[in-house]
């Protein structure tokens, strides 16, 4: 083999660099390979390029890689927006925020409401999803646009790569917080319904939004009541040791200290009904002006 070969699976690739097999605008040879000078590679080196991606250039030996990236800047790691240092992702410093010509106040005027995030937190079985659905329906009937980010639903798609370990739970909350912030910026009333057991993670989501736009709702329901409901059978599995790190059993739940709304379980069918709890949240939103244009 002559030097270093790059296979071009798309015949439309042109070679215009000196020493790569021809002069300006020459097509690769019929065998589909671009030839590099023998002086830049040993006889065992080949960098293969398919129609979608490069094999990592780190697979090429050091002397060849130095020569290759010097001659072909497009293959240099300095041109990518994200690089890894010691295995960790480093945020690129060459990205700039692009301002929109339509601001949040314009969208809110159009919708005749103010965007915010209603963050419903509590133990599994406390009724978070049920209240979220009741709240969404009640607001819809009032002509208000909402969207619900349910913890289980989000793990079917956006967060399907995450486990229930502490670090992944933090990332789960971070992602949902960022998505909720986008909804609020659009002018939508975003209802996030998930256990979110750690105060630090909830506070991080609060910090993403302007003062007052994060409405934390605590489902204050005793563990014994949640466990007696056990709608998904998860407490039974956790007690049997078949689920590890289950909130309330062998992983802590940190109740809010200064939340905006507390929905306390009283045992009364009326005051503890999903409809009444939703109305309590709506009263808060009305008092704060979120249901006005």
Residues with a catalytic annotation lie at 196
Closest CA to 174 of 164, 189, 188, 159: 159
Q: Which residues pair with 35 in a beta bridge?
A: 5
CA distances from 24 to 4, 14, 28, 212 (A): 20, 8, 11, 61
Q: Report whether 191 contacts 146 (CB < 8 A).
A: yes
Q: Report whether 121 contacts 203 (CB < 8 A).
A: no
Question: 84-119 burial by CB neighbour count: b if 16+ within 10 A, else e?
Answer: eeeeeeeeeeeeeeeeeeeeeeebbeebebbbbbbb
Gyration radius of the chain's alpha carbons: 28
As given in the structure block, the two tokens for residue 33 are 């390979």
């Amino acid at each position: 083999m002559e030097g270093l070969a790059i296979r071009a699976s798309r015949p439309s690739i042109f070679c215009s660099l000196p020493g790569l097999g021809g002069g300006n605008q020459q097509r690769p040879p019929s065998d589909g390979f671009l030839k590099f000078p023998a002086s830049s590679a040993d006889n065992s080196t080949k960098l293969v390029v398919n129609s979608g991606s490069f094999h990592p250039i780190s697979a090429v030996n050091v002397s060849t890689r130095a020569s290759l990236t010097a001659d072909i800047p497009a293959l240099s790691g300095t041109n990518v927006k994200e690089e890894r240092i010691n295995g960790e992702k480093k945020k690129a410093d060459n990205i700039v925020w692009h301002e929109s010509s339509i601001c949040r106040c314009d969208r809110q005027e159009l919708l005749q409401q103010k965007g915010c995030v209603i963050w419903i937190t509590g133990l599994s079985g406390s009724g978070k999803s049920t209240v979220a659905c009741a709240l969404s329906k009640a607001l819809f009937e009032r002509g208000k646009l909402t969207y619900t980010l349910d913890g289980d639903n989000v793990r079917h798609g956006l967060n399907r790569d995450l486990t229930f370990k502490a670090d992944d739970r933090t990332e789960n909350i971070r992602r949902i917080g960022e998505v909720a912030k986008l909804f609020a910026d659009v002018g939508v009333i975003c209802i996030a319904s998930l256990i979110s057991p750690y105060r630090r993670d909830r506070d991080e989501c609060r910090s993403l939004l302007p003062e007052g736009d994060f409405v934390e709702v605590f489902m204050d329901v005793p563990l014994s009541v949640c466990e007696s409901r056990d709608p998904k059978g998860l407490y039974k599995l956790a007690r049997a040791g078949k689920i590890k790190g289950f909130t309330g059993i062998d992983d802590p739940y940190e109740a809010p200290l200064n939340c905006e709304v507390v929905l306390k379980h009283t045992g009364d069918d009326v005051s503890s009904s999903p409809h009444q709890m939703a109305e309590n949240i709506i009263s808060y939103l009305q008092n704060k002006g979120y249901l006005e244009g």
